[in-house]
Amino acid sequence: MRLRLLHRSYGGENRKNRPAYYSKLLCLASFIRAAEQVPDAEVLFLNDGPIPADRLRLMERAGEVVSLGDQPGGMRASYRFALDLPARRGWPADDVVSFNEDDYLFTEDAFLTLRNGAERLPQASYFALYAGEPDYDDPNSRRQFSLPRGWRPEPSVDFPGEHWWHHPSITSTFSARVGAVEADRGIFAQAMVPFRRRFLDHETCLLYQGVVPYHGFEYLIGLPDDFQPTLRGVVRTIVLIPFRVALNLRALTRRKDPHRLYAVGPTRASHLEDEVVSTDRDWPTVAREVVDWLRERGDEEAAATIEADLMSPSTPRREAG
């Protein structure tokens, strides 16, 4: 088994609220630091349009750089390209491919932990380094995680320093066995159809695990907090009904051969967005460790650029669009 580590990047920014220490340069450096702990891993950088010179320099020193075009093609095009890459490259089915967005901060052992999980958990097809574990007996937690009716997890597994649990869903940063991605490619494509700028990440994960996402009135109102009591919301609901029926039917095709998702704690990565930063680690300290690692490599310029953002980690900021 070999790890194939993909980093999807876009040169610009969005309008999400970010911690003060956030930068894409920091996230990229943390990804490279974690990748270097697995010497036989293949590292690829998939760039959607032009990338700033300081980030591109780090990429070129760490792996293969693939440009998706001179101008940004958009999040959906980048995601589709990444999902199609295992088949294009002919990677073996038992290899593990890791899809990573450019606004995640990684611990140094992130991909070592991924490799350990893939080797020790044959019952898992998908893996998450960033997730919160639901309390399945708490109605509020079940609502927060949009757990479908009847969802019960498979048993969790513990190794030294690693707690792996069967998880309902994750975002577009995840890892998987190549064979599972290829078998489920149609599920990913189907879940992109209803919206132009949104992925149904939650439904995608339920579908490949053979779990029906919608029950009863959820055909009309969707999952918790999805329905908007406006004219536009009502119209959207009517339009989405056939899509929801089709998604439920797709889930039934996976019931006899579910591809289960397992997540690890403590987290080995965090999405750097104020509302969802993982709370089980001191991420500013992880950021400083990345700066120290850059200096040890002799990359003072990148270290100084990132360190400027670490001077006031208590002040959140909003990125310009």
CATH of the domain at 68: 3.90.550.10
pLDDT band at 243 (very low <50, low <70, confident <90, very high): confident
Q: What gap in Å lies between CA 316 and CA 22, rounded to an integer? A: 9
Q: Which position has the token pair 């580590």?
A: 5
Q: Would you say residue 315 has pLDDT above 80? A: no
Question: How confident is the prediction for the chain on average, in pLDDT?
Answer: 88
Whether residue 156 lies inside any domain: the answer is yes
The range of the structural domain enclosing residue 142 comes to 3-216+257-307
Which of 2, 74, 64, 90 minimizes the C-alpha distance to 39? 2
**In contact, 202 and 168? CB cutoff 8 Å:** yes
pLDDT reported for residue 233: 59
Q: What gap in Å lies between CA 262 and CA 154, rounded to an integer? A: 9
CA distances, 225 to each of 14, 16, 222, 228, 231 (Å): 24, 20, 8, 8, 16
pLDDT band at 321 (very low <50, low <70, confident <90, very high): very low
pLDDT reported for residue 151: 78
Regarding pTM above 0.75, the answer is yes
CA distances, 141 to each of 135, 136, 181 (Å): 6, 7, 29
**In contact, 106 and 268? CB cutoff 8 Å:** yes
Find the radius of gyration of the CA atoms of the chain: 20
Whether residue 232 lies inside any domain: the answer is no
Q: What crossing angle do the helices spanning 300-310 and 283-296 adopt, rounded to 10°? A: 160
Whether residue 22 lies inside any domain: the answer is yes
pLDDT band at 248 (very low <50, low <70, confident <90, very high): confident
Whether residue 250 lies inside any domain: the answer is no
Whether residue 229 lies inside any domain: the answer is no
pLDDT band at 224 (very low <50, low <70, confident <90, very high): low
Q: Listing from the earlier edge strand, what are the strands of the sheet with 260-265?
A: 64-67, 42-48, 3-10, 96-101, 174-177, 124-128, 260-265, 162-166, 157-159
Q: Would you say residue 117 has pLDDT above 90? A: yes
Whether residue 131 lies inside any domain: the answer is yes
Domain count, the chain: 1
Whether residue 315 lies inside any domain: the answer is no
Whether residue 51 lies inside any domain: the answer is yes
Tokens of 63: 């792996």
Beta partners for residue 270, in sequence order: 105
Tokens of 4: 């194939």
